Each structure stands twice: as C-alpha cells, then as structure tokens.
C-alpha cells in the first residue's frame, strides 16, 4: 500500500515540475488530474477541473472541433500523437496557438487507457517567426533593386576600355561580379522562402525534356568547377510537364551541396530513371554525409548540421527547405540516404502526368 502511495506522490511531483500545462484524462475524457502549470495558465483550480468532462471545463473553453477530432477520431486508433497545432480562443487568455501532445497510458485493472495531454503555448514563438519572415521579405525586396543595378554597372564597366586595358582592374571587377552573383542568389533565396511560406510561389508548368535540362545544368557545373567532375547517367529521354526554372533551381542546389559537402572527393554522380508513373533523379556524393539524427531536420529553414567540418562551409540552411517545398508543390518527393563519413544520395521524384511522354 505504501509503495502505491509513494508512486502516486512521485507521479504527481513529476507532473507539477513540468513547466507545460499537463492533464490526465480517463477513457471517458474526464479529467483525473492536472498540473500546477495548467491551473495557472488557464486560470483554473482543482475543484473546477478534476472529474469534469474535458469539453465542459472553464465554460466549455476546451470544446474545440479540432481537439474533439483528435481525441475522438485520431487517438482511439493510435497510442500517441505529437505536435498537433490548434488555434483557439480561450475566454480568459484570448486567442492562442497551442501544440498538443498526447499519449495513452495503459494500466492493469482499468477499463481503458488514461490519456496524458500536454499543452504547449507557441503563440509568441509563432508571432516572432512571422516578424522574422516579414523582415526577411521586406529586406530582400528592398535589396533586390540596388543589387541588380550594381550588377548591371559592373558589367558595363567590365567592357570599358580603361578596364579592359588594365589587367588588375579587370580581375577585380570579375571578382566583384562573382560576389555580386552570390549576393543576388542570397536575395533570391530569401524571396523564395517568403513566397513559399505565404503560398505565393507561382509555378509555370510547361512540357520539356528533363534529361536535356539535367545535361545543361551538369554541363554548367563542368564548365565552372574544377574540383569535381559531375557525371550524368540517364537511361531514357524523358519529357515531363513541370516548372523548368524551379527544377533547374533544385538541381543547382542539390549538386552545389554535393560538391560543397564533399571537399575531399573528386566526383558527383547525377542519374535520371524513368518509370511509367514517375521519374527519379538522384544526386550522389562521396563526402562527409549527414548524421542519422539530423537527416530529418535538414529540410527545416535555417537548419545547418553542427559538425566541425560543416561549420567551415558557407551556407544559410535555406537551399533544402526551398528545394523540398518546390518538389512538394510539383507533387513529387525529396529524401536522402546518407552515411556519415561516406557520402549522401539525394533523391527526388516527379510524377509523369498525361503531358509527360517517354520518347523511346
Ligand atoms: P546550406 O548548404 O546553405 O547550409 P541547405 O538547406 O542546402 O543549406 O542544407 C542544409 C544542411 O544540410 C547543410 O547545412 C548541411 O549540414 C546538410 N547537407 C545538405 N546537403 C548535404 C550533402 N550533400 N552532404 C552532407 N550534408 C549536407
């Protein structure tokens, strides 16, 4: 008996220590207990909470259609759910965005599992994210015009007789132009992120030859990069109906990464495979690879691996976010298989719709 009491005290102490609001429900969705944080944040107390039906708590403030769907439709068939986001107007604390995490706890001699529900208020974080996005959007928009004109003037200057006759000046202007290109790419990345997040990225689909596009992109790398040879293998000529410029962007990003993250390797292999319903493009490198625990995170905005080697390689952590969103919008998939220290292979697929033809 004493040990049961000790366990209960222990469980209660854990619940009260957790900073997030936490409630435990019985199988009929009545509250068994809640923690201190729950009472504090939702202006409630034990008497008004325990043994009450969750939807009746605080004048029905938890009666939210999404939460109902979650507890009544999703949870019965799963043992847990994670990071389910809902926006809800609470009478006392106003509209909040909360993340819900739930887990079923099975116990002997009970008529069903208890439900542990954790509620994380992410309203401020969301607002900060929005402010950051707005800032990036405005800054990149304002930067675009001056950067484009500086680029134009650089190009005009490069042709000026005073410059063409002076090797050192000409060399400096070429370097300036290269840096200008990097700056323009950065501005374009920021603008792309904003457009993707606000659903404003317009896709322009046409029918084009994917193998030709890949050959062209690979050819450009061969022309400008001396550190690696980029090899392209393709089993068929394939026409697809998609956005040529955006796929170009994805290819450039994945091949640049393959080169960037394999400084000690000599080659990158690009391949294209066509099946009846889809095409698969792979970009394989023999570089540093990606640790298993980071492989899911690399598609997040601003994510960069924490390894020592990666730290020295420049980047913003936007390329894979942009690429995976573009492929998603084109109804394809993008993923990676990677072994640390051995290399990575990025895959992306694109559907072959009605307008997509196999040429041979
Ligand atoms: P960036 O290269 O600008 O950091 P990305 O979004 O393209 O941004 O990539 C995110 C992160 O994923 C990189 O910082 C790197 O840690 C990892 N990554 C991407 N491609 C590769 C690759 N081919 N090999 C190893 N790590 C990679």
Is the per-residue pLDDT at 302 higher than 70? yes
pTM of this structure: 0.71
Q: What is the pLDDT of residues 43-58, one digit of tens each?
A: 889 999 999 999 988 8
In the predicted model, what is the mean pLDDT of residues 208-229? 94
CA distances from 119 to 59, 108, 159, 286 (A): 18, 26, 63, 43
What is the pLDDT at residue 359?
43
Burial class of residue 221 in the structure, from the number of CB atoms within 10 Å of its CB (0-12 exposed, 13-18 middle, 19+ buried):
buried
Burial 105-126 (b: 16+ CB within 10 A, else e): eeeeeeeebbbbbbbeeeeeee
In the predicted model, what is the mean pLDDT of residues 9-20? 80
What is the pLDDT at residue 81?
83
Is the per-residue pLDDT at 105 higher than 90? no
Q: What is the residue with the minimal CA distance to atom 16 of ligand 1?
A: 305
What is the pLDDT at residue 360?
37
What are the pocket residues of ligand 1 if the criterion is a CB atom closer than 6 Å to any ligand atom? Answer: 253, 257-258, 261, 285, 287-290, 298, 303-305, 310, 315-321, 344
Q: Pick the atom of ligand 1 nearest to 287's CA.
A: 24
Mutate to test the pocket of ligand 1, among 320, 321, 338, 343 (most ligand atoms within 8 A of CB): 320
22-26, 194-198, 266-270, 282-286: which has the minimum mean pLDDT? Answer: 194-198
Q: Pick the atom of ligand 1 nearest to 318's CA.
A: 6
What is the pLDDT at residue 357?
44
What is the pLDDT at residue 2?
67
What is the pLDDT at residue 134?
84
Q: What is the residue with the minimal CA distance to atom 3 of ligand 1?
A: 315
What is the pLDDT at residue 314?
80
User: pLDDT class for 345, splitting at 50, 70, 90?
Assistant: very high
Is the per-residue pLDDT at 119 higher than 80? yes
What is the pLDDT at residue 356?
46
Q: What is the pLDDT of residues 321-343, one digit of tens each?
A: 999 999 999 999 999 999 999 99
Q: Averaging pLDDT over each range in 76-85, 104-113, 116-125, which range is the top one?
A: 116-125
* Cα angle, residue 69 at apex, residues 68 and 73 outer, rounded to 5°: 115
Mutate to test the pocket of ligand 1, among 315, 318, 340, 343 (most ligand atoms within 8 A of CB): 315
Ligand 1 mean position to 343 CA, how many Å? 12
Q: Averaging pLDDT over each range in 103-117, 123-137, 267-281, which range is the top one?
A: 267-281
Is the per-residue pLDDT at 354 higher than 80? no
Edge to edge, the sheet with strand 343-351 lists 229-234, 267-274, 278-285, 343-351, 333-339
Q: What is the residue with the minimal CA distance to atom 13 of ligand 1?
A: 304
What is the pLDDT at residue 305?
82
What is the pLDDT at residue 319?
92
Average per-residue pLDDT for the chain: 88
Edge to edge, the sheet with strand 31-34 lists 31-34, 22-25, 114-121, 94-105, 80-90
Q: Averaging pLDDT over each range in 102-111, 161-170, 199-208, 277-286, which range is the top one?
A: 277-286
In the predicted model, what is the mean pLDDT of residues 91-100? 87
Phi (first) and psi of residue 182, to 5 degrees: -65, -40
Can you list the pairs that 120-128 forms with residues at least 24 positions away whose Cβ atoms lie under 8 Å?
Answer: 120/20, 121/21, 121/41, 121/96, 121/97, 122/85, 122/97, 122/98, 123/95, 123/96, 123/97, 123/98, 126/97
d(CA 341, CA 286): 8
d(CA 114, CA 252): 51
User: pLDDT class for 77, splitting at 50, 70, 90?
Assistant: confident
d(CA 327, CA 249): 11
Ligand 1 mean position to 298 CA, how many Å? 7
Ligand 1 mean position to 299 CA, how many Å? 9
Q: Pick the atom of ligand 1 nearest to 343's CA.
A: 24
Mutate to test the pocket of ligand 1, among 182, 186, 196, 257 (most ligand atoms within 8 A of CB): 257
What is the pLDDT at residue 358?
44
Ligand 1 mean position to 45 CA, how many Å? 48
In the predicted model, what is the mean pLDDT of residues 152-167? 92
Burial class of residue 202 in the structure, from the number of CB atoms within 10 Å of its CB (0-12 exposed, 13-18 middle, 19+ buried):
exposed
In the predicted model, what is the mean pLDDT of residues 63-75? 85
d(CA 214, CA 236): 12
68-77, 162-171, 207-216, 240-249: which has the minimum mean pLDDT? Answer: 68-77
Of residues 297 and 70, more confidence is placed in 297
Ligand 1 mean position to 166 CA, how many Å? 39
From the list 261, 237, 137, 238, the residue with the least C-alpha distance to 194 is 137
User: pLDDT class for 86, splitting at 50, 70, 90?
Assistant: confident
Contacts of residue 121, defined as CB under 8 A and 6 or more positions apart, other chains included, come to: 21, 41, 96, 97, 98
């Amino acid at each position: 008996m004493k040990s049961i009491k000790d366990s209960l005290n222990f469980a209660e102490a854990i619940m009260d220590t957790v900073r997030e609001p936490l409630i435990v429900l019985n199988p009929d969705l009545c509250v068994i207990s809640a923690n201190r944080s729950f009472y504090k944040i939702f202006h409630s107390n034990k008497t008004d909470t325990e043994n009450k039906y969750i939807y009746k708590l605080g004048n029905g403030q938890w009666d939210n259609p999404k939460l109902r769907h979650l507890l009544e439709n999703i949870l019965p068939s799963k043992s847990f759910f994670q990071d389910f986001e809902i926006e809800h107007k609470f009478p006392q604390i106003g509209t909040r965005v909360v993340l819900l995490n739930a887990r079923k706890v099975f116990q002997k001699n009970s008529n069903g599992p208890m439900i542990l529900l954790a509620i994380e208020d992410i309203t401020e974080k969301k607002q900060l994210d929005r402010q950051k996005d707005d800032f990036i959007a405005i800054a990149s928009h304002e930067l675009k015009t001056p950067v484009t004109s500086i680029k134009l003037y650089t190009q005009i200057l490069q042709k000026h007789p005073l410059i063409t006759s002076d090797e050192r000046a000409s060399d400096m202007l070429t370097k300036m132009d290269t840096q200008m290109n990097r700056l323009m790419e950065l501005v374009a990345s920021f603008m792309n992120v904003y457009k993707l997040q606000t659903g404003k990225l317009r896709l322009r689909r046409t029918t084009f030859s994917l193998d030709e596009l890949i050959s062209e992109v690979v050819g450009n790398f061969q022309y400008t990069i001396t550190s690696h040879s980029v090899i392209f293998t393709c089993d068929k000529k394939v026409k697809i109906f998609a956005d040529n410029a955006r796929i170009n962007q994805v290819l450039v990003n994945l091949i640049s990464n393959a080169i960037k993250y394999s400084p000690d390797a000599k080659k990158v292999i690009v391949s294209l495979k066509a099946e009846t319903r889809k095409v698969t493009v792979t970009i394989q490198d023999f570089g540093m690879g990606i640790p298993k625990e980071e492989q899911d995170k690399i598609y997040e905005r601003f994510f960069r691996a924490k390894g020592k080697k990666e730290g020295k390689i420049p980047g913003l952590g936007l390329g894979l976010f942009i690429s995976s969103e573009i492929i998603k919008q084109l109804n394809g998939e993008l993923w990676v298989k990677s072994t640390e220290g051995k290399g990575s292979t990025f895959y992306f697929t694109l559907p072959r719709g009605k307008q997509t033809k196999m040429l041979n």
